[in-house]
Amino acid sequence: MDQTRAYQAGPPPGSAVSHQVVEFVPGDLLLLKSIIDWFSERKYLIFHTTYHLYHSVVIPIGNKEGFFEKGSESTAHRRPETPGLVSTRGLVIATNFLLFAGHETIANLIGTGMYYLMSQPEQMAQLQADSSKFRRPSRNCCAMSVRCMCSPAAPHRM
């Protein structure tokens, strides 16, 4: 397996961005660093970053590496090299999904949530006055996420 690969993909539909080449080392922190630097240099907004990342990086990788089955990108982490286990490469791809997909969804959650709270100041005041109203999720979130990936019968609620 080559350590360094270059993938080339066309810009997203309607994008003014010209044809780009992204170089990175798969399965390494350099991958994230190179992606972040690549987008940061072009001063893309977060939404544009995730959009371009999906079309320019994630889909080309998935198609080239054979992670996707019948065009379904979401099955990337369920293509084990050993039955019952998540492959290392699948885990890397899934981690990227987790990081970037989670970035956009959490940003949307926080923004929307704050808007609704500010729209109802009496509700917001309750939270500010009593922090016990915040439910404490498990601190072991990474292990729970991996367990969710590896289990054939993932929990419907954690």
Partner 1 sequence: MHVLSRRTTQDVTIRGVEIPVGSSIYLLVGSVNRDAEKFPDPERLDINRPPSRTPGFGYGIHYCLGAALARMESQVAFETILQRLLDIHIAGEAPSRRQLWNYR
Residues at the contact surface with partner 1, assessed by CB under 8 A: 74, 77, 94, 97-98, 101-102, 105-106, 108-110, 112-121, 123-124, 126-128, 131, 133-142, 144-145, 148-149, 152-158
Measured from the CB atom, is 41 or 122 closer to partner 1? 122
Half-sphere exposure of 81 (CA within 13 A, CB side): 7
How far apart are CB 40 and partner 1 at their closest, in Å?
22
Torsion angles phi and psi, residue 153, rounded to 5: -125, 80
Measured from the CB atom, is 22 or 49 closer to partner 1? 49
How far apart are CB 120 and partner 1 at their closest, in Å?
6
How far apart are CB 111 and partner 1 at their closest, in Å?
9
CB-count burial class (<10 Å; 0-12, 13-18, 19+) for 22: buried
Measured from the CB atom, is 21 or 110 closer to partner 1? 110
What is the distance between the alpha carbons of residues 63 and 67, in angstroms, rounded to a whole number? 7
Measured from the CB atom, is 21 or 143 closer to partner 1? 143
92: Cβ–Cβ under 8 A, 6 or more apart, which residues? 26, 27, 31
How far apart are CB 10 and partner 1 at their closest, in Å?
21
Contacts 24+ apart (CB under 8 A), 28-35: 31/92, 31/96, 32/96, 32/99
